[in-house]
Chains A and B, each alone.
Chain A
Amino acid sequence: AQSVTQLDSQVPVFEEAPVELRCNYSSSVSVYLFWYVQYPNQGLQLLLKYLSGSTLVKGINGFEAEFNKSQTSFHLRKPSVHISDTAEYFCAVSLPQGAQKLVFGQGTRLTINP
């Protein structure tokens, strides 16, 4: 079975500062990896995904993530955050084959202070 751990439940940062949201996973087989963002009272929106190939993945809104197989990590980064990035961020994994459920981490609440 797969599991996901997001190491920080809350991350406060100042506007225009860089941010890293940490995600570690556990799996006995290879996985697909995802980051989703959830704005207040909304559904989840896909930020980026890693399926295979280059370990550095670029997503929407200036976010990127790096897959590190040896450390079983998939940390999300943004070099300069904006107030509008305030949201809950979820890391998720699935088996590397079609039509599979997503296994989510507990979420990290990113708060951007002016």
Chain B
Amino acid sequence: DTGVSQDPRHKITKRGQNVTFRCDPISEHNRLYWYRQTLGQGPEFLTYFQNEAQLEKSRLLSDRFSAERPKGSFSTLEIQRTEQGDSAMYLCASSSIDSNSGNTIYFGEGSWLTVV
């Protein structure tokens, strides 16, 4: 499978616990994105990496959220001290900087988070 993969697919955690999601983008893609999707809504942009550099963070990404892409390949999204409002699906996506294919952004299957 050469698509975007995310792990875990589902996570149930108690309020106050920390969780970490991993994303492996398509191998030749140097752009990586995280989005959050709550029930009944479209995805909302969280953050963007070009290679290992985090170039933009949404205001939705509070201080409890941190994302990394240490070697410009896979990325992690950590949520500290989870709250019930963090319950959502976290989508990772990747795209190429190539102008011919850069208009296509490929999403993973998402990581569902439930905070109880």
Q: Do A and B bind each other?
A: no
Point out residues on B near A: beta carbons under 8 Å: none
